[in-house]
Chains A and B, each alone.
Chain A
């Protein structure tokens, strides 16, 4: 039995490297509304963000936050007959909102690609993996031969770490393990060297060791192809390790936006505090408290007035008057810098965070600073 070598992964480059030519994806004031039997539902409202090549944006949110809806709007995957999309989405300089379906198809799977959570459901069960990869290649390389496509498919499967790719290319999705399937889906997404990759909960259904492998793979591929990457997830640990910037969404709006370090070490919005407090940490002290966010995610049919988070916010009493209930806060810079934005009426979020929130969730850190 050979002993298996183990390698230690190294830290990535510093987050100060900036991509060239400005952001590859630029979203401005995006609004997505769906008509329903009970009335129109605004799933995304006033969303603005950008991603540069070679950088990773993490989008954090729960059900009803609009995180998946907004990314699908970027890809143009909504049913144009029902969804109403306004605002601006520029992919590599091309305006995507209102773009004809034919031109949109040229971009999808080509310069921008999306991979999904449950690879078993997301891959067609009746076609071989190789066939599905070849299809993704041929639709954007119409002059290529079937042989070229097959060669490319095997190459990609090898690139994502699937052993014996020349044999496994003829397998069906149900014959792969969960981790392998997710790799195959990544291979399919990247087969045309997209400049933008959107990964919607790519590792949520996977075991923790498999998750780590997939995240490694995504990072390696990003470095190799220099793509802009968006990771949508609810796992703040994944965000901490993978994302350069973070966008926190709640009830269809951005409520906080900044670098990962800013958002996770010095957050200034009670929802973000709530998330950090309600997720137990493997390394935290056992005196740390698990404090849930009270109540339930908001209904998008009848969203709360003013700040959408106020019914669940335990700090709204610190804001004078009825402001949280009556007025939607604007997205304004936080105290750590203009790149860090937050949507909250609190006058002194840093104070509240250090005196009230931090001692509960990380008492050992408070001890250190004394």
Chain B
């Protein structure tokens, strides 16, 4: 290999994986309708008459929302605090990093929830909590009748089959000393689902599903390109027929033209095998394409959650608005110059000592006294829209006085009003209710 390290970055490894021609003569069926799954959860992920490799290279529109789908995962008030130990001879816990501080959301069956936010918001930690790589400090994660947060390691083991994770960096998340076959087949051996002599067949099936040549199970990860390695990671996650896949930045380490292939592949897998996704990413455009519902996180809290059209089209939280205005836009080329954007001053505060009340107030132009005194609840203001802000409103029409005062029983400065009863106590349930608080009419309305 060349000595010049600068050159190495530009030269890709020689291609090893499959393109459509190599996977044989499977037919692409354009009007393929997935079989209706049997009893919930028992649908096997198998090969059928699909050529996923070619399918992924076709154009895909954004995933559509299915409003009637039940929730497969319901997270309520989830918390993860990491202890901070003092220096000195005796190490005591002097504080906590409040990485995730009371978040609630639902992931619909066969659907996706996107989780966006910037560094330190807690989205990656959330992903690891769902897959029980960490044990939560508090809250519950209801899945299939079990609370994942409370289970012991042994009780968790059979459920690990159903909740799997796809990792960000395809270059470091695969063990370079294991063959692809070992990587993909390992879960089968651990959970003893399939007799030993059937493992290879299953591995080859999975490799085909993700668009790789099934004959390559004996090769090592370094013989594959980045996009192919990510596919190996996806195959490994699919081995045990999971019901929920947590995808933590699944495409950000890949070349742009490959990102779309992998995103489409994930869409196909989702629609074919009815897998639900928790899609964690910082790329707002990819999330918008893949997820019909999106949650925006800031410093361990969800500040806004709702369906895609509302979050991207009519965001009500100042942070969401600032985030969306900062994304560079290709269409700007027609106009020239920079897009107008909302500038946030300052840095993200420390999660060890977050600001009182609303955590975003230190950088928010609408912040007032009530924001420091009272934490805004995640309030449902639309059929599928919740926002946590005292001054929630569309861009350009934020109210002058707080909208949450009646609900919380406080006055405009955030001090409690004597004798007032908060009108809505159940403010943060994981899903949506049939009635919500309409900001314009200041009334509770319903479907």
The verdict on B339 contacting chain A, using a C-beta distance below 8 Å, is yes
Residue in chain A with minimal CB distance to B60: A290
Q: From residue 1 to 20 of chain A, which have CB atoms closer than 8 A to chain B?
A: 1, 3-12, 14-15
The verdict on A332 contacting chain B, using a C-beta distance below 8 Å, is no
* Cross-chain contact B15 with A299 (CB below 8 angstroms): yes
The verdict on A313 contacting chain B, using a C-beta distance below 8 Å, is no
Could you say which of A66, A81, A209, A275 contacts B323, with CB atoms under 8 Å apart?
A209
B-facing mask of A298-329, CB < 8 A → 1, else 0? 11111000000000000000000000000000
Residues of B within 8 A of A263 (CB): 333
Could you tell me the distance in whole angstroms from the C-beta of A223 to the nearest C-beta in chain B? 12
The verdict on A234 contacting chain B, using a C-beta distance below 8 Å, is yes
* Cross-chain contact B118 with A41 (CB below 8 angstroms): no
Residue in chain B with minimal CB distance to A70: B10
Known contacts A11-B338, A211-B326, A281-B285; A265 and B333 CB within 8 A of each other: yes
The verdict on A164 contacting chain B, using a C-beta distance below 8 Å, is no
The verdict on A276 contacting chain B, using a C-beta distance below 8 Å, is yes
* Cross-chain contact A207 with B4 (CB below 8 angstroms): no
The verdict on A83 contacting chain B, using a C-beta distance below 8 Å, is yes
| Candidate in A65, A68, A72, A286 with the most chain B CB atoms within 10 angstroms | A286
Could you tell me the distance in whole angstroms from the C-beta of B22 to the nearest C-beta in chain A? 11
A-facing mask of B305-331, CB < 8 A → 1, else 0? 000110010000000001110111111
Residues of A within 8 A of B367 (CB): 1, 3-4
Could you say which of B20, B62, B256, B342 contacts A275, with CB atoms under 8 Å apart?
B256
Could you tell me the distance in whole angstroms from the C-beta of A244 to the nearest C-beta in chain B? 9
* Cross-chain contact B338 with A9 (CB below 8 angstroms): yes
Could you say which of B10, B14, B228 contacts A43, with CB atoms under 8 Å apart?
B10
Could you tell me the distance in whole angstroms from the C-beta of A118 to the nearest C-beta in chain B? 12
Q: From residue 272 to 290 of chain A, which have CB atoms closer than 8 A to chain B?
A: 274-283, 286-290
What's the Cα separation between A153 and B246 when bound, in Å? 45
The verdict on A63 contacting chain B, using a C-beta distance below 8 Å, is yes
Of the listed stretches A30-38, A120-128, A188-196, A335-343, chain B binds A30-38
What's the Cα separation between A277 and B20 when bound, in Å? 20
Residue in chain B with minimal CB distance to A73: B6
A-facing mask of B42-61, CB < 8 A → 1, else 0? 00000000000000111111
| Candidate in B62, B286, B336 with the most chain A CB atoms within 10 angstroms | B336
The verdict on A98 contacting chain B, using a C-beta distance below 8 Å, is no
Residues of A within 8 A of B346 (CB): 4
* Cross-chain contact B9 with A68 (CB below 8 angstroms): yes
* Cross-chain contact A219 with B322 (CB below 8 angstroms): no
For the complex, count residues of A whose C-beta is within 8 A of B: 88
The verdict on B225 contacting chain A, using a C-beta distance below 8 Å, is yes
The verdict on A295 contacting chain B, using a C-beta distance below 8 Å, is yes
Residues of B within 8 A of A293 (CB): 257, 260
Known contacts A294-B57, A299-B12; A34 and B2 CB within 8 A of each other: yes
Residues of A within 8 A of B323 (CB): 208-209
Residues of B within 8 A of A296 (CB): 12, 15, 17, 19, 225, 227-228, 258
* Cross-chain contact B285 with A240 (CB below 8 angstroms): no
Could you say which of A177, A235, A292 contacts B57, with CB atoms under 8 Å apart?
A292
6 A-B pairs whose Cβ atoms sit less than 8 Å apart in the complex? A14-B336, A212-B326, A213-B343, A279-B330, A282-B288, A297-B255
| A interface list, Cβ under 8 A from B | 1, 3-12, 14-15, 34-37, 41, 43, 62-66, 68-69, 72, 77-79, 81-83, 177-179, 207-213, 215-216, 219, 234-242, 260-261, 263-265, 274-283, 286-302, 360
| B interface list, Cβ under 8 A from A | 1-4, 6-7, 9-12, 14-15, 17, 19-20, 56-62, 64, 118-119, 225-228, 255-261, 263-264, 282, 284-286, 288-289, 308-309, 312, 322-324, 326-347, 361-368, 371-372
Cβ-closest 9 pairs across A and B: A237-B328, A11-B337, A289-B59, A292-B260, A264-B333, A278-B260, A207-B118, A291-B59, A240-B333
